[in-house]
Structure 1
Amino acid sequence: MWKRVLDRAGIEEPQLRRDYTQQRRAVRRFATAEYAAARLLLPAPLVPHVVAAVAFMHDTDDRIDRGTWDDRTAALTEWDGLVRKAFAEGDSELPVLRCLVRTAEHHPDVRASVEEFLKGCEREVAWRTIADEAELERYMEQYSLPALMLTACLLAPPDAAARAAFIGGCHRLIRAMQRFDFLEDLSEDVRAGRPGVPADAVARHGADLTRPSAELGRLVVEQADLADTDLAAAACLTDVVDPSYRPFLRTLIGVQRLRLDAVRHAGASLATRTSGPPAPAAAALLLRETVARARRTGH
């Protein structure tokens, strides 16, 4: 039960229990599969803090992803101020920030991750197109990786060498995820005037991003192959974390593999439709890891 999860996480104040419950409902609604994986596969004391980090990331993205560049910049400035005020005062009028502050008290690495993420949001607000691989790498380092580390820092090992390997694995994972995220949402991003596929790769293949073609198909294959290399390298993550986190990470990486396979299958049709992992396969993967975890722990 959720109340027991809050107990095990040391969240005792009635208002905070309501706040975390509110964030749980929100995350379960907009990230159903991710919430299920965290709830079923991560140790109970960690789950509310993962929920808080994911809710904060989603709230931030929602605030800075609407309107003109001026609107987005103003929204980020306002939000940055509210976040800093919450940390300075140890409280906020907003439940999502009250939870974030409490989570950072339990897990101090979260505060540094929030700082890096908010700094990276400036790049997220500013970009219109990505010129080449070098610019894509800067985008991933400055925004995508800090966004992932909001939650990943909760799983990071304390040993310095293992932690360095963990961050390297997270970097490879988010490079893969961001690349096929741009492919999955290609049709929507093109309509919004913000395609994430590097422009030099588009030009090299002579691809028209607005319609299916052989050229676009070859571009998708090239980008999928690059993501595949990074995703394979990210498997090292399960070797360096605490054993109790490994089922969750295996599931996360497995779902990304399903996403990548779906992108390959969609190919040039991504010009006109979005893509995503098949729900039955993702559910089966989660079920296998849940059953295996239950057998190992005796629950």
Structure 2
Amino acid sequence: MSTAELDAAGVADPALRKAYLRCRALNAEHGRTYFLATRLLALTQRPAVHALYGFARWADDIVDEPGADRAEAARRLETLSRELLRGLTDGSSGHPVLAALVHTARRYDIDTTLFTDFLRSMRMDLTVHDYPNRAALDDYVHGSAEVIGLQLLPVLGTVCPATHAEPYAAALGKAFQLTNFLRDVAEDVNRGRVYLPADELAVHGVDRELLEWCTSRGRTDPRVRKALAEQHAVTRGIYRYARVGIELLHPVSRPCIETAATLYSGILDEIENADFAVFSHRAAVGTRRRVTVAAGALARAWWVRRGGRGVGAVPAREGMS
């Protein structure tokens, strides 16, 4: 099916096809929810989504590679940044992942600053370990997550001017990221990072030391439970806002984004159902739920593609805006 996607997208160059396949493999290996949702898109759209995910994953792995030297990670990120800018300027790249990203960025006219902002947040992971307030965290999240939603928007297409849909696309990326922060508190603490606003935690008597205590013992202190419940409610609100924008997307793309939003917000359900026991196990949506949601979305996607809404695939560059 992966070669059919490339054929449908008109990707013929052997080296470029190899780069797209590499990105697709990264998505399949690391992004279970995203990969499942991507399969609900039209064949022509999927390679671009794989390229965007593959780039994000490649950069993220540089930062989070176990035992990696920070100076070496910074050097690798800088090299990646230079190769990206060179590729976007030249229109091609020999990099095993950037080749697909550059092709996608030019094909869909994706703003270069969305990639440079992303790399800026990746650099922050090497030096910033705490966020004193919501504004500081939002600055990081813009580059690490909101820009991902904005990168995807030209690929997904809209039924309105793209600028009208951009706030919702950014918000959904943010909601996904904040969900990760809640799910992965213990994992992040073990990496020396806390992705929760320190001043909001302090209201409940929570600090890094208490989070480290919970992580080492696999227990959620009552004060931490209250703090996490508050962060949980904030994230729920962002999902509610972001979902409004799904109807602004091209009908072909809606089942994919509905599925991703439903499954990822389902992680919040699991966290709440476990009474915020995020230090003893990693919350995940069960296979039965994933299959049920995906099956319904697949039926909707099939109906749209077969002409139920009278629309076809989203054209490159123009979307529907």
Report the TM-score when normalising by structure 1: 0.90
Structure having the larger proportion of residues in helix: 1
CA contact (8 A) 2:147 2:173 kept: no
The equivalent residue for 1:250 is 258
Structure 2 counterpart SS, 1:243: coil
Of structures 1 and 2, the one scoring higher in RCO (CA 8 A, sep 6+) is: 2
The equivalent residue for 1:101 is 102
Quote the Cα distance in structure 1 between the aligned partners of 2:72 and 2:88: 25
| Greater displacement, 86-95 / 175-184 | 86-95
Judging changes above 3 Å, is the alpha-carbon distance between structure 1 residues 153 and 297 closer, same or farther for their aligned structure 2 residues? Answer: closer
CA contact (8 A) 2:149 2:172 kept: no
Q: Which amino acid aligns with 1:22?
A: R
The equivalent residue for 2:247 is 239
Gaps of 5+ in 2: 215-219, 308-321
- Within-5 A mapping of 1:111-260: 111-157=112-158, 159-160=160-161, 163-207=162-206, 208-209=210-211, 210-211=213-214, 212-260=220-268
Q: CA deviation at 1:234?
A: 0.8
The equivalent residue for 1:278 is 286
Quote the Cα distance in structure 2 between the aligned partners of 1:91 and 1:143: 24
Q: CA deviation at 1:72?
A: 3.0
CA contact (8 A) 1:258 1:282 kept: no
CA contact (8 A) 1:26 1:55 kept: yes
Judging changes above 3 Å, is the alpha-carbon distance between structure 1 residues 9 and 297 closer, same or farther for their aligned structure 2 residues? Answer: closer
Q: CA deviation at 1:263?
A: 1.7
Identity of aligned residues (%): 22
Q: Which amino acid aligns with 1:57?
A: A
The equivalent residue for 2:314 is none
Quote the Cα distance in structure 2 between the aligned partners of 1:6 and 1:103: 12
Judging changes above 3 Å, is the alpha-carbon distance between structure 1 residues 246 and 112 closer, same or farther for their aligned structure 2 residues? Answer: same
Q: CA deviation at 1:169?
A: 0.8
Judging changes above 3 Å, is the alpha-carbon distance between structure 1 residues 153 and 129 closer, same or farther for their aligned structure 2 residues? Answer: farther
The equivalent residue for 2:17 is 17
Q: Which amino acid aligns with 2:24?
A: R
CA contact (8 A) 1:176 1:230 kept: yes
Structure 2 counterpart SS, 1:45: coil
Quote the Cα distance in structure 1 between the aligned partners of 2:136 and 2:73: 21
Q: CA deviation at 1:93?
A: 2.9
CA contact (8 A) 1:8 1:45 kept: yes
The equivalent residue for 2:313 is none
Report the TM-score when normalising by structure 2: 0.84
Quote the Cα distance in structure 1 between the aligned partners of 2:200 and 2:275: 16
Quote the Cα distance in structure 2 between the aligned partners of 1:174 and 1:104: 18
Q: CA deviation at 1:159?
A: 4.3
CA contact (8 A) 1:91 1:98 kept: yes
CA contact (8 A) 1:64 1:75 kept: no
Quote the Cα distance in structure 2 between the aligned partners of 1:193 and 1:15: 39
Equivalent of 1:266 in 274, 289, 304: 274
CA contact (8 A) 1:169 1:233 kept: yes
Q: CA deviation at 1:250?
A: 0.8
| Greater displacement, 222-231 / 131-140 | 131-140
Q: CA deviation at 1:45?
A: 0.9
CA contact (8 A) 2:81 2:116 kept: no
Partner deviation per Cα, 1:133-170 (whole Å, 9 max, x = no partner): 1212222223321234333442243843xx23321112
Quote the Cα distance in structure 1 between the aligned partners of 2:116 and 2:7: 29
User: What is the aligned length?
Assistant: 296
Q: CA deviation at 1:296?
A: 4.2
Quote the Cα distance in structure 2 between the aligned partners of 1:238 and 1:89: 34
The equivalent residue for 1:288 is 296
The equivalent residue for 1:83 is 84
Q: CA deviation at 1:187?
A: 0.8
Q: Which runs of 4+ in 1 moved over 4 A?
A: none
Quote the Cα distance in structure 1 between the aligned partners of 2:48 and 2:173: 21
Gaps of 5+ in 1: none
Partner deviation per Cα, 1:81-126 (whole Å, 9 max, x = no partner): 1222323333333221111121123111154422332233333333
Q: CA deviation at 1:130?
A: 1.1
CA contact (8 A) 2:88 2:106 kept: no
Structure 1 counterpart SS, 2:203: helix
